[in-house]
Amino acid sequence: MNALALLLVMELGDRFALMGVVLGVLLTAVAYTVYAERRIAAFIQNRTGPDRVGFDLIPQLKFLKGAIGLGQPLADVIKLLMKEDVVPENANKFVHALAPLISLFAALTTIAVVPYAKGVAIADVNIGILYILAITSLGVYGITLSGWASNSKYSLLGGLRSSAQMISYELSMGLAVVSVVVLTNALNMGEIVESQTSNPLNWNVCRNLLGFIIFTTAAFAETNRAPFDLPEAEQELVGGYHTEYSSMKFALFFLAEYANMIVACTVIVTLFLGGYQVPFWTDAPWFVQVGAFITKTLFMMFVFIWVRWTLPRFKYNQLMDLGWKFMLPLGLFNLLIVASTIVIFGNSLPLSILNLVLVALCVAGSFAAKPQSKMA
């Protein structure tokens, strides 16, 4: 009995160490994603971006100053910490402070079930994917409450828009996840990755390209990133739901937003890009698997940033039309096709071919479609 308890404690100790590492990596990654986003945006817009701040206080790191600005995230954090925390006098003070906490909470706890290598996850629960859907939908509360508690018109409108947008795209996201569950026959994140094997042709992005596109698009909307960043449409809503937030509360929203983006990328990688699987190398050592996982995640993050600085923002009616009139039926259609193929053929090869044809048709259709001339 004692030995068993000891084993449990040791096991938990490992989990706690992993938790510390993951949170540390995630928070650092958030800081440097902001930096990377600014640098990539600058590159796309043909400007320089942040290139001044270095680590001059530490002599060994002086060489980092040379026009790459790696100290920028640290400087930003210190600046935000030293700012005054302004709360409007007619705001609901408690909810005003609670909202950024909920946002951060939802962003940080989602990562708990994502496997980083074979058998390496903070929590290996058998309903991992349901846990992810449950926690990410909590994020809506943070945004809605922040909009309501600020007692500002811009905040309220931003919060409402944002919550309507997030729940709309959650449907197509859920449907895309169901199609993955049908393909992999598992709800456990580790099993979902294992069933994709080390052959890239077995990854869900090849077996279910349509599902991947639906899920990724919904993930853009869920993380409130361009082209779905209407809650923060500056021209109409000033700052959206965080108009009345300053100092560390604003920083928490910022943190949550980028943590959400990173977590969304890890989920996309797990569900569709084979997770930690190394191409053509079954049972690779754990550090190679972690490396593969991080590489794929970085690639997806680059795609997120790339899309943000390439596509213009939707109008609100276009956004809702896309979500309800296009993505939802498409998600259902995709799911029924996946299910039919699995039941009738017993394997997913016809599905891969069918999906390629469908996506080719969609792309061709989008090029052929005439732009809407209807005046709003």
Partner 1 sequence: MIEAYLPIFAMIVIAIVLGVLLLTLGRLLGPKRSNSEKMSTYESGIEPVGTAKARISVKYYLVAMFFIIFDIEVIFMYPWAVNLREFGVSGLVSMITFALLLLVGYFYILKKGGLEWN
Q: Are 117 and 289 in contact (CB under 8 A)?
A: yes
- Cα distance between residue 155 and residue 166, in whole Å: 16
Burial class (CB in 10 A: 0-12, 13-18, 19+), 150: buried
CB of 264 to partner 1, least distance (A): 17
Residue for token digits 């090029």?
A: 367
CB of 39 to partner 1, least distance (A): 25
Question: Residue 39 or 224: which CB sits closer to partner 1?
Answer: 224
Binding region for partner 1 (CB under 8 A) out of 45-53, 217-225, 273-281, 333-341: 333-341
Question: Residue 305 or 322: which CB sits closer to partner 1?
Answer: 322
Q: Which listed residue (31, 49, 302, 340) binds partner 1 by CB under 8 A? A: 340
Q: Are 160 and 231 in contact (CB under 8 A)?
A: no
- Cα distance between residue 195 and residue 258, in whole Å: 29
Q: Which listed residue (119, 321, 360, 363) binds partner 1 by CB under 8 A? A: 321
Q: DSSP per residue over 52-113, as a string?
A: ----TTSGGGGGGGTTT-TTHHHHHHHHHHTS-----TTS-HHHHHHHHHHHHHHHHHGGGG
Of residues 64-103, which lie at the interface with partner 1 (CB under 8 A)?
A: 80-91, 97, 100-101
Q: Which listed residue (41, 95, 125, 298) binds partner 1 by CB under 8 A? A: 125
Binding region for partner 1 (CB under 8 A) out of 47-55, 195-203, 287-295, 325-333: 325-333
249 in contact with partner 1 (CB under 8 A) = yes
Task: Please report the sign of the dihedral spanned by the C-alpha atoms of residue 344, residue 348, residue 352, residue 355.
Answer: positive
Q: Which listed residue (324, 350, 358, 359) binds partner 1 by CB under 8 A? A: 324
Question: Residue 90 or 282: which CB sits closer to partner 1?
Answer: 90
Q: Are 128 and 84 in contact (CB under 8 A)?
A: no
Q: Which listed residue (3, 57, 67, 343) binds partner 1 by CB under 8 A? A: 343
CB of 149 to partner 1, least distance (A): 10
CB of 43 to partner 1, least distance (A): 31
327 in contact with partner 1 (CB under 8 A) = no
Count other Cβ atoms within 10 Å, centred on residue 95: 14
Of residues 254-313, which lie at the interface with partner 1 (CB under 8 A)?
A: none
- Cα distance between residue 363 and residue 366, in whole Å: 5
CB of 268 to partner 1, least distance (A): 18
Secondary structure element (H or E) that encloses residue 169, with its range:
helix 153-184
CB of 255 to partner 1, least distance (A): 8
- Cα distance between residue 371 and residue 2, in whole Å: 71
**CA-CA distances (angstroms) from residue 266 to 150, 179, 261?**
32, 18, 9
317 in contact with partner 1 (CB under 8 A) = yes
CB of 215 to partner 1, least distance (A): 13
Of residues 146-185, which lie at the interface with partner 1 (CB under 8 A)?
A: 148, 150-156, 160, 163-164, 167-168, 170-171, 174-175, 178-179, 181-182, 185
CB of 280 to partner 1, least distance (A): 27
235 in contact with partner 1 (CB under 8 A) = no
194 in contact with partner 1 (CB under 8 A) = no
Q: Which listed residue (6, 7, 10, 12) binds partner 1 by CB under 8 A? A: 12
- The DSSP symbol for 263 reads H
| Residues 6 or more apart in contact with residue 266 via CB below 8 angstroms | 111, 114, 293, 297
- The DSSP symbol for 243 reads T
